[in-house]
Each structure stands twice: as structure tokens, then as C-alpha cells.
């Protein structure tokens, strides 16, 4: 299929290109201008033509949680949000600790011909934090990295050995930095707001203590670690120094944590019940800055559909998580604008940077790269309503917000998989 995307503002963060022009797609790849006619022309005047977005964490709820969402609905949500590649965490039911499960999931996703799915495998069996999984086998089945998702791993002996093992096969490990004991029972950032609201708190040093442990073990093992969902200013500082010291570490920030803080919990709004918790305004601002200066490498949605029953509970009992695939673009743009960044720099955080961490060829518009492209209208502010979301998860603290950035076309491997 030959596609000609005509007259759009082509922004390719990887190369620095930002100019009005044309893009040609052929045989599933970005191509030079073709000799013959295109099969389809997409008029992109006034729109931005960017690499398809890459989301490092999106829960599709299969297998096991089909009552919350399905692969179909969430893949629809992904492409409606312009996401062409996504990594899913291993906390399905059963968890992704068996090659057979991974294989099945990949095949299901491929058959849907929506976004590309990159499964993240379980680091330990059943995510229990005790026995290692067959990481090499799982990698062969398609796992791009290994993680505990939000399941705690308190045994430092196990963590050390897991990193050694992963390093043996040069497999990346993705970890949330949170000390199991300090976080136990906590549901909000341990500070003034949690004290006022009477909510059990998770202190910021639950993150820095765990992060210190992880960084030491990286130093000792040489394992490549990606820290997921940094949440504190102090955590940012530790990452900055670790990178300066040359450790092979990267990290991401969730879309909620650059915009919201514990104050937004208001009168116990369970839509703000998230993991990690929303911390103070100071932490939020530090995270937003870290994303600007590159201490934080990329933004991810941490898409977690929760059904209404899961949120219609008192704050501490509510299920943590928010829907996010369709908010990745608008919230990235909102952050970029607030930070005074050029569009290319903003988009890098959801295209070329996550591509680098995933180790995939998409995320850029160079000739020969996979034809994963998102065409969007950067203006077009719309009020976010539950009805406008394709995901089965309607749970977001941003309901009612006016957000700019609307996807018009999503193209994966040269095929238009979504258009509005």
C-alpha cells in the first residue's frame, strides 16, 4: 500500500526535522518520493505528521481481567490515541511468566492489526519475588524486558540475583523504585495533605531508599535498568547523579505525575488514587523539569483501566490506576507547552526516546524506518468526557478538562488503523 501524506508539518524529533512537507510510505516503511501514484493521499494541511507514539506502559487487561477491559477495546483506545507501539506490564492473570502466555498474547495482538505489542515479562515466577523466571525463553517468545510491575520485591538477595541473571543475557530490567516495607499500607504521599485527609502515607524516601538499592546493584552487576514512574524530586536527584556517573540506567515519568500533585485529591477523589502516589507540588515540578533536561527519558501513560466499582469506594479501598492511552498526546503537549519546549522536543518524549529504551526502529521518520506514523491536530481543544474515550476505562482525574491535541490518522506498518 502506497501512502502519500501531503502538506503536513512533518516533525521528526530523532533528526530534528520540523518543516511543512510530504511523507511517503510504501511496503510498510518510510520511503523516498515514489515514481508512480500513491494508492491513497492523506491531506495533512494544518496537521502535524509525527512518528507514531510509543507508550512504555499500558495495561490491556488480558489475560485475566477481561471484565475491566479487553485487548480489542484497549487496542482501539491505543490507536485512537495515536499510539502505534506499546509495552504491556506482566501483571496479567496469570502473570506473564510463561513463554506460552506471551506467545498467545502476541499472536492475539498481531491478529488485531492495531498497535504493535511489546510484552514485558515477569522477573520472578508469579511475580512473587522468590524464584527467577526463564528469562531467556521468555525473551525468545518476544519479551523485551523483565519487570515486577507494581508487585513488591523486598528480598534484596533475589533482586541482586535477578539483575545478575538478566545481565548475563543482556536483558533489560524495568523496575519501580519503592521499598516494600515503607510503602506497606500507604495510599498517598506522606505529607501535609495525607495528614489532613487522614490517609496512610508513603514517604518519598520509600522511593529513594529503593532507588539507592537498585543503583548499587546496577553498579555491581552491570544490568541495564529502566526505572518506571519516578515520583519524587529526591528520586530525580539520585537518577541525575547515577547518569552522570555513567550507570546504564534510564527512567520514565507517568503523565499524571507531571501535571498533578497530592492537592488534587481534593475531597478524596479516587481518580487520584495512583501508584506511585501523587506527591507534593514540589515533586511534580521537579518531575516536569527532569523530563525537560533529560534526567527523565520519556513520558508514559501507565494506562490502567479500572471499572466503576473499583473507583466508587473510599480512597484507600479504591483500585489504583487511571486510563491513559488516549491522553498521552494531549498531556504531553500540555507539559511541553508549560515547559516552553519546541514541538519536536516535546514529541521526542513519546517517540524517539521510548523507542531508544525499547530498542526498536520505529519512533522516527527516517527513510527505511517502519511506517508507524501519527497525524494529529495540535489545536482542537476538546472537553474530555467519558463518552469520548474508546477505552473501557473511564477513570481519569482529567474528566471535564479542556485538552488540545486530537489524533486524526494513526498508521501502523503503512496501514491506516485509525482515522477520525
Stretch that binds other proteins, among 154-162, 170-178, 307-315, 341-349 (CB under 8 A): 307-315
Number of other residues whose CB lies within 10 A of the CB of residue 234: 17
In the list 95, 121, 191, 324, the residue contacting other proteins (rule: CB under 8 A) is 191
Count of residues of this chain found to bind other proteins when the rule CB under 8 A is applied: 23
Comparing CB distances to other proteins, the nearer of 241 and 282 is 282
Told to check if 199 binds other proteins by CB under 8 A, we report yes
> Whole-number minimum distance, CB 186 to other proteins, in Å?
11
In the list 185, 198, 359, 368, the residue contacting other proteins (rule: CB under 8 A) is 198
> Whole-number minimum distance, CB 312 to other proteins, in Å?
6
Residue 368: all three cell numbers together: 527505511
In the list 314, 359, 368, 379, the residue contacting other proteins (rule: CB under 8 A) is 314
Comparing CB distances to other proteins, the nearer of 4 and 273 is 273
> Whole-number minimum distance, CB 231 to other proteins, in Å?
16
Told to check if 195 binds other proteins by CB under 8 A, we report yes
> Whole-number minimum distance, CB 314 to other proteins, in Å?
4
> Whole-number minimum distance, CB 155 to other proteins, in Å?
20
User: Binding mask 202-241 vs other proteins (x if CB under 8 A, - otherwise)?
Assistant: -x--------------------------------------
In the list 113, 156, 312, 388, the residue contacting other proteins (rule: CB under 8 A) is 312
Told to check if 192 binds other proteins by CB under 8 A, we report yes
Residues near 44 by beta carbon (within 8 Å), at least 6 away in sequence? 5, 6, 7, 8, 9, 375, 409
φ and ψ of 410, to 5 deg = -125, 130
Of 256-275, binders to other proteins (CB under 8 A) are 266-268, 270
Number of other residues whose CB lies within 10 A of the CB of residue 15: 12
Told to check if 400 binds other proteins by CB under 8 A, we report no
Asked, as a colleague might, if the bond just before 94 is cis with ω within 30 of 0, I would say yes
| C-beta separation of 310 from 319 below 8 A | yes
> Whole-number minimum distance, CB 418 to other proteins, in Å?
35
Q: How far apart are CA 212 and CA 247, in angstroms?
A: 12
In the list 40, 170, 196, 241, the residue contacting other proteins (rule: CB under 8 A) is 196
Enzyme catalytic residues? 302
| C-beta separation of 78 from 349 below 8 A | no
Stretch that binds other proteins, among 22-30, 312-320, 324-332, 340-348 (CB under 8 A): 312-320
| C-beta separation of 304 from 59 below 8 A | yes
Told to check if 402 binds other proteins by CB under 8 A, we report no
Told to check if 363 binds other proteins by CB under 8 A, we report no
| C-beta separation of 56 from 415 below 8 A | no
- What are the residues binding other proteins (CB under 8 A)? 190-192, 194-201, 203, 266-268, 270, 309, 312-317
Amino acid at each position: 500500500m502506497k501512502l502519500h501524506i501531503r502538506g503536513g508539518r512533518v516533525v521528526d524529533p530523532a533528526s530534528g526535522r520540523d518543516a511543512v512537507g510530504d511523507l511517503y510510505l510504501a511496503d510498510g516503511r518510510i520511503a523516498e518520493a515514489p515514481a508512480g501514484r500513491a494508492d491513497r493521499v492523506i491531506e495533512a494541511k494544518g496537521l502535524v505528521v509525527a512518528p507514531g507514539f510509543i507508550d512504555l506502559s499500558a495495561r490491556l487487561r488480558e489475560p485475566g481481567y477481561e471484565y475491566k477491559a479487553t485487548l480489542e477495546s484497549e487496542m482501539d483506545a491505543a490507536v485512537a490515541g495515536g499510539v502505534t507501539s506499546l509495552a504491556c506490564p506482566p501483571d496479567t492473570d496469570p502473570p506473564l511468566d510463561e513463554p506460552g502466555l506471551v506467545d498467545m498474547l502476541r499472536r492475539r495482538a498481531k491478529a488485531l492489526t492495531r498497535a504493535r505489542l511489546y510484552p514485558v515479562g515477569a522477573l520472578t515466577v508469579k511475580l512473587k519475588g522468590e524464584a527467577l523466571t526463564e528469562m531467556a525463553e521468555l525473551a525468545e517468545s518476544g519479551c523485551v524486558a523483565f519487570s515486577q510491575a507494581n508487585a513488591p520485591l523486598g528480598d534484596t538477595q533475589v533482586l541482586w540475583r535477578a539483575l545478575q541473571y538478566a545481565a548475563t543475557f543482556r536483558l533489560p530490567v524495568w523496575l519501580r523504585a519503592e521499598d516494600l516495607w515503607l510503602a506497606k499500607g500507604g495510599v498517598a504521599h506522606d505529607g501535609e495533605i495525607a495528614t489532613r485527609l487522614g490517609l496512610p502515607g508513603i514517604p518519598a524516601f520509600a522511593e529513594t531508599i529503593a532507588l539507592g538499592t537498585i543503583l548499587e546493584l546496577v553498579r555491581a552487576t552491570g544490568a541495564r535498568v529502566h526505572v518506571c514512574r519516578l515520583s519524587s524530586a529526591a528520586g530525580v536527584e539520585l537518577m541525575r547523579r547515577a547518569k552522570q556517573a555513567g550507570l546504564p540506567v534510564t527512567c520514565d515519568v507517568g503523565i499524571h505525575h507531571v501535571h498533578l500533585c497530592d492537592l488534587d485529591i481534593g475531597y478524596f477523589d479516587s481518580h487520584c488514587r495512583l501508584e506511585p502516589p501523587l506527591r507534593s507540588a514540589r515533586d511534580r515540578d521537579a518531575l516536569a523539569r527532569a523530563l525537560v533536561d533529560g534526567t527523565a527519558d520519556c513520558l508514559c501513560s501507565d494506562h490502567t483501566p479500572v471499572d466503576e466499582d473499583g473507583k466508587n469506594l473510599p480512597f484507600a479501598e479504591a483500585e489504583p490506576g487511571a486510563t491513559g492511552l488516549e491522553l498521552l498526546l494531549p498531556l504531553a503537549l500540555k507539559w511541553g507547552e508549560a515547559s516552553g519546549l519546541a514541538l519536536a522536543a516535546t514529541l521526542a518524549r513519546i517517540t524517539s526516546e521510548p523507542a531508544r529504551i525499547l530498542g526498536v526502529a520505529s519512533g522516527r521518520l527516517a527513510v527505511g524506518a517502519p511506517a508507524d506514523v501519527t497525524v494529529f491536530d495540535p489545536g482542537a481543544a476538546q472537553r474530555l468526557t467519558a463518552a469520548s474515550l474508546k477505552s473501557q476505562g473511564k477513570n481519569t482525574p482529567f474528566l471535564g478538562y479542556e485538552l488540545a491535541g486530537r489524533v486524526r490518522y494513526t498508521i501502523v506498518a503503512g496501514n491506516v488503523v485509525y482515522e477520525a
